[in-house]
Amino acid sequence: MTEREPAASDFRVGSELVVRAIPGVPTVESGDDLSEIVVAAFDHAGIDLRDGDVIVLASKVVSRAEGCFVDLAKVAPDGRARALAEEVDKDPRLIELILRESLGISRKTKGALIVRHRLGFVSANAGIDASNAAPGNAPPDSGPWVLTLPQDPDASAAALRDTLGAQYSANIAVVITDSWGRPFRRGTVGFALGVAGLPAVWDRRGASDRHGRVLESTESAVADSIAAAADLVAGQADESRPLTLVRGLQFPRSLESSKALLRNPEDDLYA
Amino acid sequence: MTEREPAASDFRVGSELVVRAIPGVPTVESGDDLSEIVVAAFDHAGIDLRDGDVIVLASKVVSRAEGCFVDLAKVAPDGRARALAEEVDKDPRLIELILRESLGISRKTKGALIVRHRLGFVSANAGIDASNAAPGNAPPDSGPWVLTLPQDPDASAAALRDTLGAQYSANIAVVITDSWGRPFRRGTVGFALGVAGLPAVWDRRGASDRHGRVLESTESAVADSIAAAADLVAGQADESRPLTLVRGLQFPRSLESSKALLRNPEDDLYA
């Protein structure tokens, strides 16, 4: 299958989007087949996927399916992790794990280490999740358990997109999301961690407005906006709503991944 | 009317949101009554507003209605503006205006001055818009025209919410939005610039997850997520879609404004 890079004119936005949380996703365990779980949930909801549907999945269930559980009792912090842990007042074993997951430290403060994750984005504590993070088969005397982000969320999104797209014979997209804080603003919003099947960034630079004036800055972070919209219905504490359908976009096939959303550190005024 | 501060349990998110661009908004001019324009657009679309509806309006139409047009030909840059303009390679008159709209400079780079706006948030070029920015009655030899952000978007949102809420006898909310870039990530997303009638930040700190563990960081930037969702259907270049309806949230009356979304500079690791 040859896929082409999309042209700006290929990406149309309908006048109405429906953002629907799909119930029926069980607590996912290591080794579970996510595409089977997603298909079962859509079947149960009586939904047939069709062209233009975007399947949004919280990274947590992807991490669980991929077995990204870590028993902190088995993590041995080194000297640097111990010193940092004291500085930011966190568990040195967690700090060790955050450092292993990261390319470097961006900022530090009481309670949080802001890092550039090995996947390239910047977030607090490398996105490591400590709530509901134990595997179902955890021995009673084990833990505390935490959950790291998926190894390669773009690849996970692409695999899911290929399987679901074939199953429904539809041009769908998959966005794997997490929600983090941001510089300058309070509160978390959803971000696209893995993207497959749609342009993550909609580049309209060079298009002209209605007066023929060339638009200056019109790269729209479509996949992040989709993640933010899904976050409104998905909730974060409730594991039963990690699956969201966003229906109403029209997009071309695209090979663009979530990497398109990352600023190069050398272009980043806040790096 | 006494309004109370919402409790976390008051804010419920339905399982389905509809995000609909409402057509029929004309090019708005200085002095136009926005509530009349919005009501006419909803009437034309056959939509009756009801409890829980969120009316999302692009800041540009609010600025136009409020007459926030500036003829750059009449702006006299001072020495500081001239020096900065040379440094970042922009029109010194625009730099002068950006500085007048700002509390201070956050970062500077070729083509952009990132400032803390007088309203408290951080954005490029103080959110001043140079596309489609001329008033309809601009003399032919005037300009170039630009459009500043509304004087007080929270007040504008509250006024609109009061008028529309009374007209439809419904507990609605209004979010005035703009879209900007962000540190670390490419592409623009929608942000809430003015908020009335819903909690801008949904504070779930202290709530417990399904295992009884207290959640650590669960302040959700609901109004920003709504802005991001609306941005997906509103487009930015096309002035005919500045009005979006988000239907499906359930929220308590709230006196919280967009200020709830702003980190204090002293708490901000990137300030």
pLDDT in tens, B173-229: 999 999 999 999 999 999 999 999 999 998 765 555 555 555 555 789 999 999 999
pTM for this prediction: 0.92
CB contact under 8 A, A21 and B23: no
What average pLDDT is seen over chain B?
Answer: 89
pLDDT of B234: 80
Q: What is the mean pLDDT of residues B68-76?
A: 97
Chain B contact probe: residue of A12, A17, A205 with most B CBs at under 10 A: A17
Query: If one looks up domain B8-66+150-262 in CATH, what number appears?
Result: 3.30.1330.100
Residue A64, pLDDT score: 96
User: For B8-27, what is the mean pLDDT?
Assistant: 77
| Cα separation, B51 vs B40, whole angstroms | 19
Please give the backbone phi and psi of residue B117, each rounded to the nearest 5 degrees, phi first.
Answer: -65, 155
Mark yes or no for CB contact B188/A221 under 8 Å.
yes
Phi, psi of A107 (to 5 degrees): -150, 160
Q: Which residues contact B83 (CB under 8 A, 6 or more apart)?
A: none
Q: For the beta carbon of residue B195, count every other beta carbon within 10 angstroms.
A: 32
Integer CA distances (angstroms), B151 to B112, B119, B227, B237, in order: 22, 9, 19, 22
pLDDT of residue B97: 98
pLDDT > 90: percent of chain B: 75
Predicted confidence band of residue B1 (pLDDT cuts 50, 70, 90): very low
Span A56-101, pLDDT tens digits: 999 999 999 999 999 999 999 999 999 999 999 999 999 999 999 9
E strand or H helix at A153: helix A153-168
Task: Answer yes or no: CATH 3.30.1330.100 is held by domain A8-67+150-263.
Answer: yes
Mean pLDDT, residues B240-244: 85
Whether omega before A242 lies within 30 degrees of 0, making that bond cis, reads: no
Contact B231 A225 (CB under 8 A): yes
DSSP letter string over A178-245?
Answer: EEE--SSB-SBEEEEEEEESS-SSEE-TT-B-TTSPBPS--EE-HHHHHHHHHHHHH-SS-TT--EEE
- The pLDDT value recorded for residue B5 is 45
**DSSP reduced 3-state for A84:** helix
Nearest CB partner across the interface for B221, out of A109, A183, A185? A185
Neighboring chain B residues of A13 at a CB cutoff of 8 Å = 232-233, 235
Report, as an integer, the average pLDDT of A41-48.
Answer: 94
- Beta A102-109 vs A219-220: how paired, if at all? unpaired
Q: What DSSP string runs through chain B?
A: ----PPPGGG-EEEEEEEEEE--------TT--HHHHHHHHHHHTT----TT-EEEEEHHHHHHHTT-EEEGGG----HHHHHHHHHHTS-HHHHHHHHHTEEEEEEEETTEEEEEETTS-EEEGGG-B-SS-S-TT--TT---EEEPPPS-HHHHHHHHHHHHHHHHTS--EEEEEEEE--SSB-SBEEEEEEEESS-SSEE-TT-B-TTSPBPS--EE-HHHHHHHHHHHHH-SS-TT--EEEEEEEE-------GGGGBPPGGG-TT-
Tell me the pLDDT band of A208, cut-offs 50, 70 and 90.
low
Is there a contact between A23 and B14 if contact means CB atoms under 8 Å apart? no
Structure tokens given for B32: 């136009």
Pick from B109, B237, B248: which is nearest to A209 by CB?
A: B237
Nearest CB neighbour to B204, from listed A109, A181, A237 = A237
Q: pLDDT tens, A50-68? A: 999 999 999 999 999 999 9
Residue B8 has pLDDT above 50, yes or no: no
How many C-beta atoms lie closer than 10 Å to residue B260's C-beta?
20
What is the pLDDT at residue B6? 44
**Beta strands A12-21; B12-21: pairing state:** antiparallel
Closest CA to B268 of B108, B121, B62: B121
B232 and A186: CB-CB below 8 Å? no
Per residue in A108-150, pLDDT (tens digit) is 999 899 999 999 999 999 999 988 799 999 999 999 999 999 9
In this prediction, residues B246-255 reach a mean pLDDT of 88
More confident residue, B124 or B204: B124
pLDDT of residue B165: 96
Q: Where are the domains of chain B?
A: 8-66+150-262, 69-147
CA dist., res. B241 & res. B23, Å (int): 6
**Confidence class of residue B9 from pLDDT cuts 50, 70 and 90?**
very low
> Is this complex scored with an ipTM above 0.95?
no
Q: What is the per-residue pLDDT across B82-94, written as a single tens digit (0 to 9) for each?
A: 999 999 999 999 9
CB A68 within 8 A of CB A187: no
On chain B, the residues whose CB falls within 8 A of the CB of A232 are 13, 17, 222, 225-226, 229, 249
B207 has a chain A CB within 8 A of its CB: yes
Does the beta carbon of B205 lie under 8 angstroms from any beta carbon of chain A? no
Beta bridge partners of B58: B177
Q: Which of residues 51-90 of B touch A (CB under 8 A)?
A: none
The hierarchical CATH code for the domain A69-147 is 3.90.1660.10
Within 8 A of B213 by CB-CB distance, chain A residues are 131-132
- Distance from the Cα of B76 to chain A's closest Cα (Å) equals 24
A206 close contact with B: CB closer than 8 A: no
pLDDT at site B152 = 98
Q: Cβ(A85)–Cβ(A105) under 8 Å? A: no
Question: Which spans in A89-133 are helix H?
Answer: 92-100
B17: contact with A, CB 8 A cutoff: yes
**Structure tokens given for A168:** 């429904």
**If phi over 0 gives left and psi between -120 and 50 gives alpha, with beta otherwise, what is residue B54?**
beta
Average pLDDT of chain A to the nearest whole number: 89
Find where tokens 């034309």 sit.
Answer: B44
Q: Identify whether the C-beta of residue A113 lies closer than 8 Å to the C-beta of residue A34.
A: no
- What pLDDT score was predicted for residue B236? 47
Is B4 within 8 Å of B253 (Cβ atoms)?
A: yes
Q: Decide which of A36 and A14 is more confident.
A: A36
CB contact A266 to B (< 8 Å) = no
Choose among B250, B202, B192, B227: nearest CA to A237: B202
